[in-house]
A = this chain, B = another copy of it.
Amino acid sequence: MAEKPVIVLVRPQLGENIGKAARAMLNFDLVEMRLVAPRDGWPNPSAGPAAAGADVVLEKAAVFETLAEAVADCAHVYATTVRKRGVTKPVVTPEEAAAEITRATGRSAIVFGPERSGLETEDVALARAILTVPINPEFGSLNLAQAVILCAYEWSKTSALVQPTAEDTLPPAPQAELEGLIGHLESLLEPSGFFYPQARADATRRTLRGILTKPAWNHLEVRTLRGVLSALVPKRRTSDRSM
């Protein structure tokens, strides 16, 4: 099974953004952060508060002087950039990168550039592929932590660790219970003239049945609706039953 990808921040400027990136990573169970020449040194007092509890990621963050050192043990390096820069490398989406990373043997790294300028051409040259988020061409400024979370999120979707939320909703009520509800409603509507004129009665019944069949109500819901009907037309029922 493939290893989790490493997240590499190259020359990050603000400690706050490093903290937010850590939070985004841990949200999707990524824990290995590497920092290349962070502008304000490391540790950075602004990172902790922004991590909002993802301290474990910050504490284990490793610092390197160059990107080459930071990814030395990685078999697959993805450089994130918004521009293609005319580099002759494959360009993949976060989704495609996640699929490759999960299938891959060896470690993968996803590399993010400084907030303002992005990765330099030399950084990109180290990578095997370019990772680009398909984005609004007229508003392409993606925040660092948000770029990280999109990649982490896509990775988590491919990993076996995260299961889609299992639904624990009740199944639809058995047909007999639904029939009981429909019959109950029809019997209450009968005296009101709802099914007149006679020529259209069958079509009206079908319409009503269609409306009540569509919801796939479970047995609790059907029971509640029987209670609603009894509450709506109490006197008629009482007098029917009297003595």
Contacts and interface: CB of A to CB of B under 8 A. Distances in A.
A116 to B, nearest CB: 12
A72 interface: no
A34 interface: no
Contact of A54 (B139, B188, B189): B139
A188 B232 CA distance: 7
B218 A88 contact: yes
A215 to B, nearest CB: 4
A44 interface: no
Contacts of A136: 26-29, 156, 162
Interface stretch (A6-14, A35-43, A163-171): A163-171
Given A91-B165, A91-B167, A221-B211, A234 B28 contact: no
A103 to B, nearest CB: 18
A146 interface: yes
Interface string A210-243: 1100111110110011011101111000000000
How many chain A residues sit at the interface, stated as a range, is 35 or more
Nearest to A140: B27
A205 to B, nearest CB: 12
Nearest to A232: B232
Given A53-B141, A145-B146, A169-B90, A162 B135 contact: yes
A52 interface: yes
A167 to B, nearest CB: 6
Nearest to A212: B215
Contacts of A27: 135-136, 139-142, 146
20 contacts: A26-B139, A27-B135, A27-B139, A27-B140, A27-B146, A28-B135, A29-B139, A88-B170, A89-B169, A135-B156, A135-B162, A136-B156, A150-B153, A185-B228, A192-B232, A207-B224, A211-B215, A211-B217, A215-B215, A229-B232
